Amino acid sequence: MFFIKYSKYYIYDEPGKQHVDAISTSADFGKAWPHQPTRRRVRAGLCQRVLLAAIVAGAYLVVACGSARANPPPVVLTESGPVQGAQQGDLTVYEGMPFAAPPVGKLRWRAPQSVAPWSALKVLDHFGPNCMQKGMYPSDQPTGEVSEDCLYLNLWVPARAAGEKLPVLVWIYGGGIANGSGSIPLYHGNVLAQRGVIVVTFNYRLGVFGFLALPGLAQESPTHTSGNYGLLDQVAALNWVNRNIAAFGGDPSRVTVFGQSSGSISISALSVSPLTKGLFRYAIGESGGLFEPMQLANDLTAKGAQESGSAFMRRAGASSLNALREISAQALLNVQFTPGIILDGEVIDEPPVQAYRAGRINPSAFMIGSNRDEGVIFLEGEQVTPANYAAVLGRDFPSWAIKFAAPSPGDTPQTAYAAAAQFQGDIRFHWDMWTWARLASQAGRSVHMYEFDHPTACASGAGCVKATPHGAEMPYVFGHDPHSAWSKQDQDLSNLMVSCWTEFAKTGSPAGCGLPPWPAFGVQPAKMLIADSPRLVAMQLDATMRHLDRLYWAADIVSAHPVLAIAMTLIVVLLFAGAIIWLLIKLVRCMRVSRTPSPKTTP
């Protein structure tokens, strides 16, 4: 029940080692060849440096001669080798930059490894393949080519003044950690980058390729862990940004991660991970967090995840880990597997809710929010009535949770549908975002909370007319909708959101982005309603949110202090039993008194 949100849509540097900053202009070639931050460092001699400088300078001259009327895209020397992007208006775009070695063959289900260095100029003018998956999230985006060789990132870099270091926005896509890509048209960063930020998107492994845990995988791992390979890819991409973004004109000390759905869930986990300290300063979470007591979900513990992985291995018909690695990627994709972020002891060494309560939080500022009608996407095609209300919700949630926390279905199909949509949205997203904002604020972090409300027509047969569903904010955040023509009202709203997201990346606060005064989430919590008429509104919990909060609080206390919980339960039982006995004694006494004949009076 705690993690049903996953079921639908849902290389490091060696410690203590230094590296040489990458060089970004041809005038600087030959100053230094950046060391690889891995055990196999490239120790280039003077002759090799001169040869590399000649190759890159020659390539630069060839491009310059062929483009006499326009400045050619700059050549950037990364830690792995020289690269060149493509000019798109005032932006330079780098598509398909490898940030880790292809996780294929023996590297399948291993932590991401360093890229093999190159010396010839690599032109980054096309996106890399998407990671292995069926379909795409969002579902209206192109599926494209899929491959296990998918660990590539993309950059949109605006023009800048000499010596200027730009803030960086790094996008982590959603899709239930089973679908998604950093290169689909919706996530192109051209509009955001025009506001003076560098935008980075990347791929990470999904599904069974990104989240399979097995005892054998843990045994062969230096950290004796397994399962969170997709999260390790995210960490590797952030490490790449930290080491290389200065060469592109970015400021590695001003990195903001932003993500939606399971991308936002990932951010809530990475924000307390020991592996991401110093890799990003600010974080934006859109509709997704990991604040339930995940230690109570067996499949999300290291032991439980390995048991689930062993069951997958049997379903795949593999007798050994080597045999499993020999099965084709497509065949593995056809075997049922439910991915989940795992409490593995490495990427996530404690439940995020506990880390937040203790103040062990990496970023200094957050912008957190959700959409008004998150839950309607999970009811598409459903005809909800008071009679089938419990059955519809029962497909996703246990009956006791529905009885404890779900609102009343009312007397009509309309009220039943509204109640079901509210419950779906609250339990999957709204409670997490409120809890995230509250705990981060209590830990002394700056937090700005929002709610996006811009209704559009619902999907056919969805049971509603207009709504602001899960994912509806993304086109407005990225500044374009690849499928729809916008009205002036749409464009104005998007301009506002682009301004707020980029302002937050620059300063850690959306203040001054064009919205009414937006105070930080505090003692009297409020959120900004981002709509056609934006306004600040008080944060009010509905009954479902209050019930969920009590439920998760009790579950967390029980898991953290089982002996105390048992003792308190016994005390409550004893008190209840004592109260019952006392009432029975009083009742018996009353009955005796009522049966005693009253004394007769003598004449």
389 in helix, strand or coil? helix
Averaged over 484-505, what is the pLDDT?
Answer: 96
HSE-up of 77 (CA within 13 Å, CB side)? Answer: 25
Band (348; pLDDT cuts 50, 70, 90): very high
Identify which of 515, 543, 514 has the alpha carbon closest to the alpha carbon of residue 527. Answer: 515
Instruction: State how far the Cα of 55 lies from the Cα of 83, in Å rounded to an integer.
Output: 12
pLDDT digits (tens, 9 = 90+) for 249-300: 999 999 999 999 999 999 999 999 999 999 999 999 999 999 998 988 889 9
pLDDT at 64 over 80: no
Instruction: State how far the Cα of 420 lies from the Cα of 393, in Å rounded to an integer.
Output: 7
Band (593; pLDDT cuts 50, 70, 90): low
Domain positions in the chain: 564-595
pLDDT digits (tens, 9 = 90+) for 373-425: 999 999 988 899 999 999 999 999 999 899 999 999 999 999 999 999 999 99
Among the listed residues 374, 451, 473, 503, the single catalytic one is 374
Lowest mean pLDDT among 85-94, 437-446, 448-457, 576-585: 576-585
**Residue predicted with more confidence, 201 or 554:** 201
**Residue predicted with more confidence, 465 or 261:** 261
Averaged over 113-135, what is the pLDDT?
Answer: 97
Instruction: State how far the Cα of 59 lies from the Cα of 10, in Å rounded to an integer.
Output: 45
pLDDT of 565: 56
Angle subtended by helix axes 431-442 and 543-560, to nearest 10: 60
H or E element, residue 92: strand 91-98
Percentage of the chain modeled with pLDDT above 70: 84
The per-residue pLDDT of the chain, averaged, comes to 87
Give catalytic status of residue 374 as yes or no: yes
Q: How far is CA 236 from CA 252, 360, 402, in A?
A: 14, 21, 40
Instruction: State how far the Cα of 168 lies from the Cα of 154, in Å rounded to an integer.
Output: 12
Band (430; pLDDT cuts 50, 70, 90): very high
Band (315; pLDDT cuts 50, 70, 90): very high
Band (461; pLDDT cuts 50, 70, 90): low
**Residue predicted with more confidence, 16 or 588:** 588
Lowest mean pLDDT among 119-123, 146-150, 172-176, 394-398: 394-398
pLDDT of 555: 77
pTM of the model: 0.84
User: Would you say 427 and 544 are in contact if contact means Cβ atoms under 8 Å apart?
Assistant: yes
Q: How far is CA 6 from CA 289, 335, 349, 422, in A?
A: 11, 17, 20, 18
242 phi, psi to nearest 5 deg: -60, -40
Give catalytic status of residue 480 as yes or no: no
Site of tokens 């004109």: 249
HSE-up of 498 (CA within 13 Å, CB side)? Answer: 22
Band (53; pLDDT cuts 50, 70, 90): very low
Among the listed residues 80, 114, 261, 370, the single catalytic one is 261
pLDDT digits (tens, 9 = 90+) for 503-554: 999 999 999 999 999 999 987 789 999 999 999 999 888 899 999 998 888 8
Among the listed residues 470, 473, 494, 547, the single catalytic one is 470
pLDDT of 552: 86
